[in-house]
């Protein structure tokens, strides 16, 4: 679909947001499609470039970490005038069932488990909504509902479902 005198993405930064909002829906939909495509293309380029950088410096960074006696963390490399900051973050997962047993053992031994671990509780929303009303009523004072950022999809020539 071609719209004569169509606004293009490069026009948007100089337009007040109210003017953009006043554009016809079909123009907004096409602009959004163009922006999404640019974002996908930019992400693909970034991923490709990140892969090349990892290929160039990855082994050198691992060697430098090993020389410092660490498996993860941040190290710095020099490549001529460029300082390469290579970070390999540590991601730790804990077995919740084992932790619960250990916390109980600490408590049984008379110590305070909160001196050793952070204890947290959560309730999946799908479980909460499946509970009987009387149980939900008991938990409601502990529950806060917040909304996320609104999202909109603009579809051209597609049926609304």
Cβ atoms of residues 74 and 85 within 8 Å:
yes
Neighbours of 40 (CB within 10 A): 10
pLDDT given at position 3: 54
In the chain (161 residues long), the average pLDDT of successive 10-residue segments reads 76 94 94 96 96 95 94 92 93 90 94 92 93 94 87 70 58
Which residues, including other chains, have CB under 8 Å from residue 143's CB and lie 6 or more apart? 123, 128
Supply the pTM of this predicted model.
0.67
- Report the half-sphere exposure of 66 (CA within 13 A, side-chain side): 6
pLDDT given at position 147: 85
């Amino acid at each position: 679909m071609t719209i004569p005198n169509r606004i293009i993405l490069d026009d948007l930064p100089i337009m007040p947001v109210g003017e953009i909002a006043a554009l016809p829906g079909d123009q907004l939909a096409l602009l959004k499609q163009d922006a999404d495509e640019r974002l996908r293309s930019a992400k693909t380029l970034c991923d490709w470039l990140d892969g090349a950088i990892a290929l160039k410096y990855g082994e050198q960074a691992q060697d430098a970490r090993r020389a410092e006696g660490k498996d993860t963390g941040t190290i710095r490399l020099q490549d001529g005038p460029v300082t390469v900051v290579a970070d390999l973050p540590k991601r730790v997962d804990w077995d919740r069932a084992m932790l619960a047993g250990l916390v109980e053992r600490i408590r049984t031994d008379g110590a305070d488990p909160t001196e050793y671990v952070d204890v947290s509780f959560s309730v999946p929303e799908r479980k909460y909504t499946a509970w009987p009303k009387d149980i939900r009523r008991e938990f409601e004072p502990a529950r806060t509902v917040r909304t996320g950022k609104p999202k909109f999809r603009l579809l051209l020539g597609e049926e609304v479902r």
